[in-house]
Structure 1
Amino acid sequence: MEILLYVGGILFMLIGLGLSIGLHEVGHLVPAKLFGVRVGQYMIGFGPRLWSKRIGETEYGFKLLPLGGFISMSGMYPASNNAGPARGVFRTLIQDARSANDETIAEGAEDRVFYKLPVWKRVVVMLGGPLMNLLLAVIIFTVLVSGIGVQQGTTTIASVTECVVPAESTATECSADDPASPAAEAGIEPGDVLVSIDGQPVSTFAEATAIVQAAPGDALDLVVRRDGAEKALSITPIAAERTITDASGQPILDSSGDPVVKEVGYVGMGSQMGYVQQPLTAGAQLTAENVSRVASLIVTLPVRLWDIGVSLVTGGERDPNSPLSVVGVGRLAGEVAATDAPILNRFAVLLQLLASLNVALFVFNLIPLLPLDGGHVVVALWEGVKRIWAKLFRRPPPAPVDATRLVPLTVVVAVLLIGMGALLLVADLFNPVDILQ
């Protein structure tokens, strides 16, 4: 059964990745067609063709290696001038790129080419793919936090501590000298549901905790629901040093990574954990936080790749926040699906992985280097700047930017991307990230 769950987790992530890639390309395809560009192919994957079907002027299909996708637009760059044979490696690469580009321009459709679109339309086409991934991330995160909810302490009491022991104590039982906890003195029982504290309604345990921690030594009116009826109690928090926790019950750490300990009001009661649904805006907020985190990772990518290489060679523990290959993401998905946890918990983690993957696709594709979408945006914007400059100084309109001149740089970037993918693949096979430890 565990093997089936593991395989199921991998399949979930592969299907999710395939849909994410497919919709990314739809984000390019739809505006391109709306703007009249001739699109010859819409393909998911690379390598040998597995299946395809031509609908109208566009061939739709799948290829063997599910490592990405593409659409083939007519005339990504200006047509070449049919110069003679090229000499030198770089000139040959440029000439080959121009020849391949020329082949996409169909006879009779010379005006339906990408490079002749206004600059803003080209930017829209190229940003359509990454923005589709961003939208998917927002939708998935919204389903996760507003549909399923965030696991937090609820207002239902799970336990009541019988006595008060020092924060640094390791005792597991009360002694005769230990004073009774305020919760026990007040008559709070497991199963009680908190309704209000000090006249303030509470909907989460975090809200109740904030009121209690802010009122050491003060008598507070407490209303609980017990067996369907509300019961009024009185509770007086004592001052005690306790580790400060967040809404999920996890310790808050200081800049040194140590738990934050403060003297706060304490009563000695614990809550049941449950999924608390968040406002609809929480999904977009969580997406923005992930975008910031992934952008920081991209900035420090060379250092992180170096650390991955070192840990791979030395066998050291890998940073849980390090980048992953498709194999690494699939492996994590399988491990999550096979863990001994409630089904809803596992499904929530899988959704979080898929949403984070779409955020990564969004941020990574915005890197302003060809062959990534961000590189095409930069080329279009540069042409726009040249046109504005010419208009300001009353000069003739400049010729379209010939991005095939950047093919040597594009090849270098492609080689680096392949090298990065190979490193991550080997690291994910032999020194994988363990987020379940």
Structure 2
Amino acid sequence: METLIMVGQLLLGLSILVGVHEWGHMVAAKSFGMRVEKFSIGFPPKIWGKQIGETEYSIGAIPLGGFVKITGMIDESLDTKTLNAEPEPYEFRAKPAWQRLIVMMGGIIVNVITGIIIFIGLALVNGEAYLPKDKLNEHGIIAYDLGEQLGFKTGDKILSINGQEYERFSDLLSPDLLLGSDNYYTVLRNGEEIRVEMPNDFIDKFADKKNRVSVIEPRIPFSVQSVVPGSLASDAGLKAGDEIISVNGVQTRYFDQLSAILDSLKGQPITLQAKRDGEIVDMSTTVGGDGTLGFIAQYELDYVSRDFTFTEAVGEGTYNAFAVVWLNIKGFQKMIAGDVDVRKSLSGPIRIATFFGGTWDWNNFWRIVGLLSMVLAFMNFLPIPALDGGHVMFLTWEIVTGRKPSDRFLENAQKVGMVILLSLMAFVIINDTISLF
């Protein structure tokens, strides 16, 4: 069922994104009097179609893209049978270069607008919640394996990033930081300030499927929220509101401390101390075979939360949308510099489906769709023949120089671009498949 939900979200998300992208091309073309022969979400074979006026609207069986067929335009269909005749007034090639440029930019523009609207909506609906630096440093961090490889230790208090103040816990491993270079942290450890360097290729380890656990997390004080009836904790006399302060004389102020010691004493008898209404209560029990006692913890961290006004949401959403584009640019720079393994950085449909997850969460769904909308706009703007950016490149050349590339040149460029795109698609699908194992 989880797989079906992943696939369902992927197909719905791609259909929305492809639909609005191709709609942007079509609306621009029709507004300049160009004939649009076909509008398709998905690639052939066609599973549904309907002719409305001069345009056939259809859904293809391969849901990994879509297309708009504009008369007189050399596109992925490579239909050039009419190019030897004089252009008709309604053809793409008969229109001024600036109109053709707007048509080719139409899909990119609509994807950007879609991404901005989604991020504004998310900001307006969800507001924001974050753990500020001062609350984080009351207790410090938990360092997991990858965090320890980086140089952190559990209990560290992080004072600054690159010598600069930071505002919240999420800043410590923000995408912008991970994609940067020569970054370092200043931490307070046992009363001493220590510099922790982040290697420029750290994002490669962070992106590895084997490291999909947290690098660092806030260290969390806890108390007992409720006790499972009939459990070992219940038999020992543990009650809601208790604070477990030690096990076998070892301090357990934080939940990671308690988890570690219980995991090391599975099935063994223990003594524990709890603070209850200001008094210390001694108890004895046995640790379960799974390393638990049978209670639900209540975590005690003071997160800051706030709602956005509409004006604030517009600013926040627009910033978040364009941050996606900036991060893609930095990601490409990392790949070119050799700091990032391309196999870990490029995602195809299989890996994208896993981003949606196996449960249908509308908030997460729209967040991923908004992100993908901005990524689609960025990728389509790359100056590769067969992408919108390739057409934009040639049209910009025509506008600047006043010389139009020949139809033969454009046809050959389109073929080269199709080979590049098909090769890239094959690479990411094979890479996605390998990453599953």
Contact 1:98 1:404 in 2 (8 A): no
| 1:303-318 matches, cutoff 5 A | 307-309=341-343
Alignment partner of 1:407 is 2:411: yes
Q: CA deviation at 1:67?
A: 1.3
Matched AA of 1:65 = I
CA distance in 2, matches of 1:404, 1:300: 36
**Aligned residue pairs, count:** 303
Q: CA deviation at 1:406?
A: 3.5
CA distance in 1, matches of 2:137, 2:80: 76
Q: CA deviation at 1:159?
A: 12
Q: Choose which of 152, 158, 161 in structure 2 pairs with 1:243.
A: 158
Q: CA deviation at 1:123?
A: 1.2
Deviations 1:211-258 (A, max 9, x none): xxxxxxxxxxxxxxxxxxxxxxxxxxxxx9832485553473686666
Matched AA of 2:353 = G
| 1:414-425 matches, cutoff 5 A | 414-425=418-429
Alignment partner of 1:137 is 2:110: no
Q: CA deviation at 1:408?
A: 3.0
Match of 2:256 in 1: none
Matched AA of 1:260 = T
Percent of aligned pairs sharing the same letter: 25
Greater displacement, 16-25 / 400-409: 400-409
Contact 1:51 1:61 in 2 (8 A): yes
Structure 1 gap segments, 5+ residues each: 78-92, 171-239, 310-318, 339-345, 388-397
Alignment partner of 1:327 is 2:350: yes
Q: CA deviation at 1:158?
A: 10
Match of 1:61 in 2: 58
Match of 1:358 in 2: 373
Alignment partner of 1:115 is 2:93: yes
Matched AA of 2:306 = V
Q: Choose which of 6, 10, 22 in structure 2 pairs with 1:25.
A: 22
Alignment partner of 1:149 is 2:153: no
Contact 1:75 1:113 in 2 (8 A): yes
Q: How much is the aligned-residue C-alpha RMSD, in angstroms?
A: 4.0
| 1:156-235 matches, cutoff 5 A | none
Give the alignment's TM-score, normalised by structure 1.
0.60
Contact 1:48 1:63 in 2 (8 A): yes
**Structure 2 residue matching 1:367: 3-state secondary structure:** coil
**Structure 2 residue matching 1:260: 3-state secondary structure:** strand
Matched AA of 2:111 = N
CA distance in 2, matches of 1:68, 1:169: 43
Alignment partner of 1:349 is 2:364: yes
**Structure 2 residue matching 1:252: 3-state secondary structure:** helix
> Cα distance 1:429–1:168, how it changes in 2: closer, same or farther (>3 A)?
closer
Match of 1:286 in 2: 320
Greater displacement, 123-132 / 8-17: 8-17
Contact 1:325 1:421 in 2 (8 A): yes
CA distance in 1, matches of 2:432, 2:14: 17
Contact 1:308 1:427 in 2 (8 A): no
Q: Choose which of 405, 421, 431 in structure 2 pairs with 1:427.
A: 431
Match of 2:68 in 1: 71
CA distance in 2, matches of 1:302, 1:418: 21
**Structure 1 residue matching 2:405: 3-state secondary structure:** coil
Q: CA deviation at 1:430?
A: 2.3
Give the alignment's TM-score, normalised by structure 2.
0.60
Structure 2 gap segments, 5+ residues each: 144-154, 161-165, 193-219, 222-299
Contact 2:335 2:342 in 1 (8 A): no
CA distance in 1, matches of 2:9, 2:50: 26
CA distance in 2, matches of 1:301, 1:371: 23
